[in-house]
Amino acid sequence: MTISNIPGAAVDRAALTPQARRAIVVVLVGAILAFFDATVVNVSLKSLATDLGGTLDAIQWVVTVYLLVQAAVLPVTGWVARRVGRKRLYLGALLLFTLASVACAAAEGVGTLITARVAQGLGAGVMIPVGQMILVTAAGRDGMAKAMAAAGIPMVLTPVIGPTIGGLLLEYAGWQWIFLINAPIGAIGLVLAVRLLPRDERAESAEALDVLGLILVSAGMVGVTYGLSEAASRGLTDPKVLVTLCGGAILIAVFVAHSLRVRNPVLDLRLWRDRYFAAGTVSTLVIGAVTFGAMVLLPLYFQLNRHQDAAHTGLLMAPQGVGAAIAMGLSARLYERVGALTCLLGALVCCVATVPFMLLADDTPYWLLCLAMIARGLGIGLAAMPAMTAAMRDLTPSQIIDATPQLTVMQRVGGSIGTAAFVMILQRHLPGGIGLPGRGDAFAVTFGWVFAGSALALLPTGLLAVLERRSHKRPAVSAAAS
């Protein structure tokens, strides 16, 4: 069987063009910064509270506001990209993020730090989807799998290595360097972006901004994101959680009805009529839930049950990053050969690799955990970015500008849902609550739910594979009939 006879295979598997390779280098710098800052701050909250004279509840907003601002700004990135051009918008976002990082390091109070984190979140929320737009456009359809695999490296690796690097910087350099380290990297990224990215073509025509739609979806996203983040610690029955979650969900429902009536909505939900986009987006949501939601469990297990500090916990999480890195190298080539079956294979590997964690005990050997983490990292790497690639396979460049923010939103919402759900399940089974040492069986039960989520991911990824196989067979049937 030749490659061209395999359902979903790319007929032309040419190497990435020099323009696409340059775009990958540039976009990786911004993505690393954005994803790194979403995780690295978590290990410094106690130090920040001590040095800045704030309570832990107030300092927690340093993390929360970064996520909320990203949720608010993601929906409008497509419209702004059409107005000002992708390169200019990316440069502006990276510059804002870099300057905001310096402002964070210079903060002398909690309020100032939170304000600077708002600017950081704004830059990060724009950089990620616009960077993916640049990548997909530069790579074209034939190189999309390779480009998206490269773009997924920071998404998968930074949650693993971020806390480790943050712990080391905190111990040997001080909390300011958690932010200052972004300055030289951001400066390098700006120089590379100016020199390597092609000039923006004439700005695409963009209709007047759908202000009402933007208000509805941004406020709804903030409500859902904040509600889910609070649900992890307060529980779903807390009045504050219920109000924000229900309010956010209602606003998003109103936005959906509104966007299907107006001619140029801020997010074009008509893309969901494309079966590949619909199946790929749902896959991204579920994979995001089981990926990012489960990432919070193992660090808690190492710290509560095995009494490891933050730095050692990060090192113990490294095998999952190794597995994901290996998968990122394989996923593009595998996608070119078997198409969306890659996503289904990744979901299957995730399911199998979760089984050892369902048997967790306080004395589970580290070598067994290491092997299971490598396998789980392989599954994540094989499933995550190929699902996004499959979702965009039949979209035009103009549609990709609308599709990228939606995929990013679904990935973030999925991660928030998974984190909230798994932490709440863990809290119910830990004696004395999450703040006290627990038993391995509490984590084993929670990973049973992770397994259920991984099994659920088989449905949309399997649908993607079936759709691709049918579309491959249809031209042959037509040809035979003629």
Tokens representing 215 are 């208000």
Spatial distance between the Cα atoms of 180 and 100, rounded to a whole number of angstroms:
10
Joined tokens for residue 78? 């497509």
Strand, helix or coil for residue 234: helix
- Give the DSSP letter of residue 75: G
Length of the chain: 482
For residue 8, the model assigns a pLDDT of 41
Distance CA 276, CA 385 (A): 14
Residue 332 near residue 316, CB atoms below 8 Å: no
Q: Where would I find the H helices in 85-210?
A: 86-106, 110-172, 176-180, 182-196
Compute CA distances 46 → 50, 61, 179, 229, 356, whole Å. 6, 13, 16, 19, 33
* pLDDT for the residue numbered 303: 77
Tens digits of pLDDT across the chain (482 residues): 333 333 343 434 456 778 888 888 888 888 888 888 877 776 677 777 778 877 666 777 887 788 888 888 888 888 888 888 888 999 999 999 999 999 999 988 888 988 999 999 999 989 988 888 888 887 776 777 777 777 777 776 776 677 777 777 877 888 888 899 999 999 999 999 998 888 876 555 567 788 898 899 889 888 888 888 787 677 777 888 889 989 999 999 999 999 888 888 888 888 888 888 888 889 888 888 888 777 778 877 887 788 877 667 767 877 887 888 788 778 878 887 888 888 899 999 999 999 999 988 888 888 898 999 899 888 888 888 888 888 887 787 778 888 888 888 888 888 878 878 888 888 777 765 544 444 558 888 889 999 998 999 899 998 888 888 877 654 433 333 33
Helix 110-172 crosses helix 18-39 at what angle (to 10 degrees)?
100
* Tokens (6 digits) for 280: 């790929």
Of 37, 20, 274, 39, nearest to 149 (Cα)?
20
